[in-house]
Amino acid sequence: MAKYFDVHPDNPQPRAIRQAVDIIRGDGLIAYPTDSCFALGCRMGNKDGLDRIREIRHLDERHHFTLMCRDFAQLGQFVQINNASFRAVKAATPGAYTFILPATKEVPRRLLHPKKKTVGVRIPDHIVAQAILAELGEPLLSSTLLLPGEEEPMTMGWEIKETLDHQLDAVVDSGEGSTEPTTVVDLSDGEPEILRVGAGDPSRFE
């Protein structure tokens, strides 16, 4: 059964955040809120967690996973970024964007797109997500919590707990989430290509 942490959206209780992060460090899989919609998250090196995300979402090997990063300095350790992309990403973060970029050697190979060797990165503009990342001290391997066959992600923490109780180790809830996933921008070839229009304003990359 998944542990359930009901945290304050503006002042998340440090003890609850610590307990949730302890579960992540112990190779657990959590559902947590972001500035777009709820996400599934585990440690970057957690192979079992990655397999569990694939299973819950029915994902194939071409799916781009996202490294949820605390800040720009952390993001820069895991992706290669040229000057033009650097400025574009810096201007749009933190925010509801996921950027696809060539990965550095710090990223485990199993997280990379098999052909392109790219990975998704993002910096959330969400107090609870940021509190988790600050306590964890490393990126959180993440994927939008969108179940197979569903048009929209689940927005309520209790509903996620009820539906995925035996597939997750914890649910962090800070109130109703958004139904809109991030806007995904592929910058891997230098020129921005919008792969998905979502919560972030795409016009700055058009």
Query: Which pLDDT does position 62 carry in this prediction?
Result: 79
Per-residue pLDDT, averaged over 196-205, amounts to 94
**Cα angle, residue 132 at apex, residues 71 and 18 outer, rounded to 5°:** 140
Query: Which pLDDT does position 37 carry in this prediction?
Result: 92
Residues 114-149 pLDDT 10s:
889 999 999 999 999 999 999 999 999 999 999 999
Which structure tokens are listed for 75? 């993001």
- 152 pLDDT more than 90: no
Percent of the chain's residues with pLDDT above 90: 88
Query: Which pLDDT does position 141 carry in this prediction?
Result: 98
Average pLDDT over all residues of the chain: 95
Reading phi first (left if > 0) and then psi (alpha if -120 to 50, else beta), residue 71 is in beta
Burial of 14 (0-12, 13-18, 19+ CB in 10 A): exposed
Q: Are 55 and 148 in contact (CB under 8 A)?
A: no
Q: In angstroms, how far is CA 145 from the centroid of its own chain?
A: 9
Query: Which pLDDT does position 114 carry in this prediction?
Result: 86
Cα–Cα distance between 113 and 134 in angstroms, integer?
27
What are the phi and psi torsion angles at 18 (to 5°)? -60, -45
* Domains along the chain with CATH numbers: 3-205 (3.90.870.10)
Which structure tokens are listed for 112? 């990379």
Residues 55-105 pLDDT 10s:
999 998 778 899 999 999 999 999 999 998 999 999 999 999 999 999 999
Percent of the chain's residues with pLDDT above 70: 100
Reading phi first (left if > 0) and then psi (alpha if -120 to 50, else beta), residue 149 is in left
Query: Which pLDDT does position 206 carry in this prediction?
Result: 87
- 41 pLDDT more than 90: yes
